[in-house]
Amino acid sequence: MSGWLALLAALDSAVRLATPLIFACLAGLWSERAGIVDIGLEGKMLAAAFAAAAIVAIVPNPWLGLLAGIGASMAFALVHGFATITWNGNQIVSGMALNFLAAGLTAVLGNAWFGQGGRTPQLAGAARFGEVTLPLAEAAEAVPFAGGFYAEVISGHSLLVYSAFLLVPLTAFLMFRTRWGLRLRASGENPAAVETAGLSVARLRYSAVLVAGILCGFGGAYLSIAQSAGFVPDMTAGKGYIALAALVFAKWRPWPALGACLLFGFLDAMALRLQGASLPGIGAIPVQAIQALPYILTVILLAGFIGRAVPPKASGTPYVKDRS
């Protein structure tokens, strides 16, 4: 029974750790399906995390913090769009530049405004998104297995966690059942066909990039005002890149993306738990080795276990009209 409880606890923290990955991964999905590679997920989340925590430190309202996070992330997204869609810039370079900008800007501004070495002040409970206990959770705990799963793993998260999970079917629906989604996917596959069908590739790609901005805003705000109680420099810690790996792993499809993010979240949770554990014959496992596990697994999975991952055909290439 204690093994079961330990598993439930690990799954519970897997859900928490997967949430920012889900936001970022879906953001990447929107952007890349429309043909804009977004390596700046990391930077957008970091900017959003900082903006959210900074606003909430002044006005203790998590909803305002979320809006600020989304605003900051969308501003970054617009810069990316301007560089890559309007001026046909290199999408990788623009994304990396935004990552560096976010890392530097948040630390400098944080230090200037709050004087705590780049951190924002610790947030009180009311300033954060609290945990929501779902109906019947306590009663369900009595039911073996399913009840415990419901109470421990499903119930007791912040609203942002539930919205991340709801965004998966919403993304799938918008992307594959609507005219907008069809056009977005077409501009990621063959923008020239979109243009000749009488549509504006630029407008479609901007809309996708902005959706990515909104989603990264959610992800960043979750990090600083739901999962933690304040902003810490570099608090995204590579989650934007892991989300990109999950996107490739999921072959740019929403439901597999959810699965990939949950898997990576679970690995992260296991890493936390296995710290200090010792294996027979080896002895104590170095903390670093455990922490590296998700990354190592990502490399192995990407290298050989998912088959050919074919990205949207035109992603990464600016659309330039032919001169003929």
Binding site for other proteins (CB under 8 A): 177-183, 185-186, 189-190, 192-200, 312-313, 321, 323-324
| Residues, the chain | 324
Residue with Cβ nearer other proteins (148 or 254): 254
CB atoms within 10 A of CB 24: 32
Phi (first) and psi of residue 69, to 5 degrees = -60, -45
Cα 294 to Cα 237: distance, rounded to the nearest angstrom: 13
Gap between the Cα atoms of 72 and 78, Å rounded: 10
Query: Minimum distance from CB of 177 to other proteins (Å)?
Result: 6
Output 16 or 185, the one with its CB closest to other proteins.
185
Residues 47, 72: Cα–Cα separation, whole Å: 6
| CB of 250 closer than 8 Å to CB of 256 | yes
Whole-number Å distance between alpha carbons of 282 and 248: 34
The type of residue at 307 is G
Q: How far apart are CA 195 and CA 73, in angstroms?
A: 28
Instruction: Pick the closer one to other proteins by CB: 182 or 284.
Output: 182
Between 194 and 242, CB nearer to other proteins? 194
170, 160, 151: which is closest to 223 by C-alpha? 160
132 backbone dihedrals φ, ψ, rounded to 5°: -105, 125
CB nearer to other proteins: pick between 36 and 161: 36
98 vs 247, beta carbon nearer other proteins:
247
In angstroms, give the least distance from the CB of 190 to other proteins.
Answer: 5
Query: Considering beta carbons, is residue 1 or 179 the nearer one to other proteins?
Result: 179
CB closer to other proteins, 108 vs 182:
182
**Residue 131, SS3?**
strand
CB of 181 to other proteins, least distance (A): 8
Closest CA to 27 of 209, 163, 255: 209
Q: How far is the CB of 182 from other proteins (least distance, A)?
A: 6
- Shortest approach of other proteins to residue 254 CB, angstroms? 16
Residue pair 248/32 in contact (Cβ under 8 Å)? The answer is no
Nearest approach in angstroms of CB 26 to other proteins is: 20
- Smallest distance from the beta carbon of 88 to other proteins, in angstroms? 17
Q: Considering the complex, what minimum distance in angstroms separates the CB of residue 204 from other proteins?
A: 11
From CA 130, how far away is CA 157, in angstroms rounded?
A: 8
Of 68, 29, 51, 79, give the one whose Cα is nearest residue 248.
29
